[in-house]
Amino acid sequence: MISYEKKDTPIHKLSGFTKLVFFLIWCLTSALTFDTRILLLMILLGGIIYVVSGTKWKQVSGVFIAIMFFMVINLTCIFFFAPYQGCEIYGTRHEIAHLFGPYTLTKEQLFYEFNVFIKYFTVIPAVFIFLVTTDPSELASSLNGVGVPYMIAYSLEIALRYIPDVQDEFHRIRNAQEARGIEMSSKGKMLSRIKNTAVIIFPLLFSTMERIDVVSNAMELRGFGKKKKRSWYSRRKLMASDYAVIALVIVFFVVTMIITFHDGNRFYNPFI
């Protein structure tokens, strides 16, 4: 699992809010465009930011392999469900080779699937960088700083703060149940696996409900939610670099949208 690591790079210095805005606009751009040139540019930019952020390959390699595995299955599936999706999109048909049955490999299909592939990949560096360089407490305080109600900012902080704790609890319970001889691996039958999963979920859920009681009582005792405002230990003001990044990403979004849609649809078509 990916986690935050303290470092001294230009990206770590940016406010959490800036990185969140960047991340969301980046995702939106990637979702809307299907223009190969823009997608490739985004991958290039993502790669540069990845290098600048000083993220170690070791921090993210496990997750990266998981994505590759998922992508291979997904792309194969697309081909078997709709071998001519690419032809429909680009309006032409250049056959490369006949495979078997109704399946013929076409250039359009390859190009379309390549686009789907890099489209997924544009989001990945943004996710990695956001998670590795953003301090959860600082994110919550900077969100509150730009006007998000602190109740909401705080629940986001609680979520990020408690993931490792709940994860530990989960491992403890699973180890305990495995010690009792309950099979958790993929060997068991489906119904028995549901049953065995329930054996973990029950204690985990009940201890979580208890934790919610304890934490909310503690917060109530300290007067949380009494006043309209609160102060933050890790408050940091938005600096010139934050405004610059936000402005840049908005300009980037507008320009890419103009390039993508100026010819009426969002695909870049090299076949005409």
Partner 1 sequence: MDKKFGIKEVVAMGIGTALFVVLTNVQIPVFFVPNTSLQPRMAVLAFFAAVFGPIVGGVVGLLGHALGDALFYGGVWWSWVFPEGVVGIAIGFFAAKYAVKEGGFNTKSCVLFNIIQVVANAVAWIVVAPVLDILVYSEPANKVFAQGAVAFVCNIVIIGILGSILLTVYSKVAGKSSDLKAED
Spatial contact of 236 and 19, defined as CB atoms under 8 Å apart: no
d(CA 48, CA 64): 17
Pairing state between β 103-106 and 95-100 = antiparallel
Question: What's the closest the beta carbon of residue 149 comes to partner 1, in angstroms?
Answer: 10
Residue 188 DSSP one-character state:
S
Question: What's the closest the beta carbon of residue 56 comes to partner 1, in angstroms?
Answer: 14
Q: Which is nearer to partner 1, 124 or 238 (CB)?
A: 124
DSSP percent split of the chain into helix, strand, coil, nearest 5: 70, 5, 25
The two structure tokens encoding residue 28: 């939106």
Question: What's the closest the beta carbon of residue 198 comes to partner 1, in angstroms?
Answer: 6
Q: Which is nearer to partner 1, 193 or 238 (CB)?
A: 193
Where does this chain bind partner 1 (CB under 8 A)?
Answer: 1-2, 27, 31-32, 34, 60, 63-64, 66-67, 70, 73-74, 77-78, 81-82, 85, 89, 112, 116, 119-120, 123-124, 127-128, 130-131, 151, 154-163, 165-167, 170, 186, 190, 193-194, 197-198, 200-202, 204-206, 208-209, 211-213, 215-216, 219-220, 224-225, 267
The two structure tokens encoding residue 265: 């649809």
Question: What's the closest the beta carbon of residue 42 comes to partner 1, in angstroms?
Answer: 13
Helix then strand count (H, E) for the chain reads 10, 2
Q: Which is nearer to partner 1, 20 or 238 (CB)?
A: 20
Question: What's the closest the beta carbon of residue 243 comes to partner 1, in angstroms?
Answer: 26
Spatial contact of 128 and 55, defined as CB atoms under 8 Å apart: yes
Q: Which is nearer to partner 1, 181 or 223 (CB)?
A: 223
Q: Which is nearer to partner 1, 8 or 75 (CB)?
A: 75
Spatial contact of 34 and 266, defined as CB atoms under 8 Å apart: yes
